[in-house]
Amino acid sequence: MKKLIGAVVLFGIYFVLKRYFVVGTFTPDVENLLLMGIVLVGAFLVAKLLNKVKLPKLTGFMITGLIVGPNVLHFLTHHNLEQLRFFENFALAFIAITAGGELKFSRIKKIIKPVSFILFNQIFLVFFALFLLLIPLSKLFLGNLISNERYLMGFAILFAATALSKSPATTMGIITELKAKGRTTEIVLAVTVLKAIIVVLIFPLVITYSKIYLIDQFQFTNQQVMALVYNVFGSLGLGIGIGIIIILFLKYVQIEKALFLFLTGILLTELSDIFNLEILISSIMAGIVVENFSEKGEELITGIEKTSLPLYIIFFTFAGASLHLDTLKKAFLMTLILIVLRMLFLYLSNFIAGYFLKENKIIKHYSWLGFLGQAGIAVGLANIIEKAIPGETGLMFKSILIATVVINEFLGPIFFKYLLIKAKEANV
């Protein structure tokens, strides 16, 4: 009740100031300052409120975004979102650095067999099975919404690719909450982080390929291939470069660490923007480099974790506010089908891997429960799509994708928690 009253008071202050106490000029600066303050505290309270019914905090942030966004209260408009876009990208950079920081090579070596088998299955089986099924399904459910039949093929490719994504952030969140330790925990974590990297790496390729079907007269030229190569290697190079700078800083300078990390985030965000590189790859790479080639990797992750809460709130609230409910209504059934199919193929992927490796019952039948949660990176991918495919088509795809993220985000942590308890690896 306290939390609800708190959130209502905050939203009330903004409402009164904007609508009834008109004495000054409501400039964009004033608006952005008030909105950021209200979103940070309000979203936290809403998330805590929903946490009572076991909903993850990230869902709470997204629901707050939905409430204060253009769909309901209109506090956070599309114009505000555009103005505050820098903060969204900045938050994404930090989330991705943390994800990369979880990929410790020495830990993965010990569980390389199940990790690689599950990873291979989850990527190829889920992708191709979904791709093949989605062509007739898209035709059936989205056919009347799409003028050009070629779009269906493009949709199928994009759907299948984005279904691969899995949030390392939510995985880490549950592991920390339950203080979980054990083989299953390690396998799920390693597959999650590795898959996030692979998905981000192949995604530009998939987007470009899908454009052949989505955009009229679009052709896959050598220049585009070169642009992709530039994008992937440039992003990797930037990430490695920033990782080396962080290592040198942590080793030799060691002062003003908080300020330095803050600036590193800005540096990644700005350089990725200037050189048109993929911020997710750069940031993950920076995290990997620091974690694996420096003794101070843990220090970096701890440093970021200390400041991560506002970033998560901004990122997920903005994502919630960007949700186009009106478009979503048109394709709700498609969203549900995608979720169920994704679950089915995740189960099959892990079952096959477990069967051939003669793994225990937990890995064979239950480990798929650790791969449902989609957040952070998936939302990032959806944003890429919106930018790459402008107009109604991109918007609809983004909305469907974020809707699957929201639903998976509801289910993911609950399922993963169940898995860890079942595997007797939860210590709380």
Partner 1 sequence: MTSVLGLVFLVIIAIVGKYLLDKLNVKTIGSNFLIYSGFFYLLLGVLSNPNILNIFELSVLKKSEFFFNFVLGWTGFLVGLQLNLKGIKRFPKKYYLLSVSHFLISFVVIFLLLLILSYSDLIQATYLQILLLAIIGSMGSVLGVGLLAKERSIRSVNAYFLQFTTAFDNVLGVLALGLLFFIHQLTINDFNKAILVDGFSYLIIVLLAFFYKYLDSEFKTSEEEALLILGLILIVVGVARYLHNSILFLSFFLGLLIINMKADTKKILMAVQGWEKPLNFILLFTIGLYLDFNVLEMNGLFWGFLIIMLVAKFLAGDFYQRFKLHHRPIKKENKLILYGMSSLSLAMVLDAYFTNHNPVLLKLLTLVVLSFYLTNAFVLYFVKENEK
Give the amino acid at 426: A
CB of residue 33 vs partner 1: minimum separation in angstroms? 4
Q: Name the strand (E) or helix (H) holding 233.
A: helix 222-248
Contact flag: residue 4 with partner 1 (CB under 8 A): no
Is residue 69 within 8 Å of 323, Cβ to Cβ?
Answer: yes
From CA 166, how far away is CA 371, in angstroms rounded?
Answer: 6
- Considering only the stretches 31-39, 155-163, 202-210, 234-242, report the one whose residues sit in contact with partner 1 under the rule CB under 8 A: 31-39
Question: Alpha-carbon distance 422 to 191, whole Å?
Answer: 19
d(CA 119, CA 111): 12
Residue 33 interacts with partner 1 (CB under 8 A)? yes
Q: Which tokens is 401 given?
A: 């994708």
Q: Is 271 in the site for partner 1 (CB under 8 A)?
A: yes
> Should residue 428 be labelled a site residue for partner 1 when binding is judged by CB under 8 A?
no
**Does residue 34 interact with partner 1 by CB under 8 A?**
yes
Task: Based on the shown chain and the rule CB under 8 A, indicate whether residue 227 belongs to the binding site for partner 1.
Answer: no
CB closer to partner 1 out of 34 and 348: 34
The reply on whether position 125 binds partner 1 by CB under 8 A is no
Q: Which of 1, 19, 27, 221 binds partner 1 (CB under 8 A)?
A: 27
Report, in this order, helix, strand and coil percent for the chain, each rounded to 5: 80, 0, 20
Question: 217, exposed or middle or buried, with CB in 10 Å at 0-12, 13-18, 19+?
Answer: exposed
Cα–Cα–Cα angle for 420, 421, 423, rounded to 5 degrees:
65
In the complex, minimum distance from the CB of residue 247 to partner 1, in angstroms, rounded to a whole number: 14
C-alpha to C-alpha distance for 93 and 96, rounded to whole angstroms: 5
Two tokens, residue 348: 């099959």
Piece in contact with partner 1 (CB under 8 A), picked from 25-33, 162-170, 320-328, 403-411: 25-33
Q: Applying CB under 8 A, does 344 fall inside the site for partner 1?
A: no
Site for partner 1 in 44-83 (CB under 8 A): 44-45, 48
Q: How far is the CB of 240 from partner 1 (least distance, A)?
A: 18
Part in contact with partner 1 (CB under 8 A); list of ranges 62-70, 115-123, 133-141, 255-263: 255-263
Give the angle 195-383-212 at the CA atoms, nearest 5°.
Answer: 85
Where does this chain bind partner 1 (CB under 8 A)?
A: 2-3, 5-6, 9-10, 13, 17, 21, 23-27, 29-34, 36-41, 44-45, 48, 252-256, 258-260, 262-263, 266-267, 270-271, 274, 305-310, 313
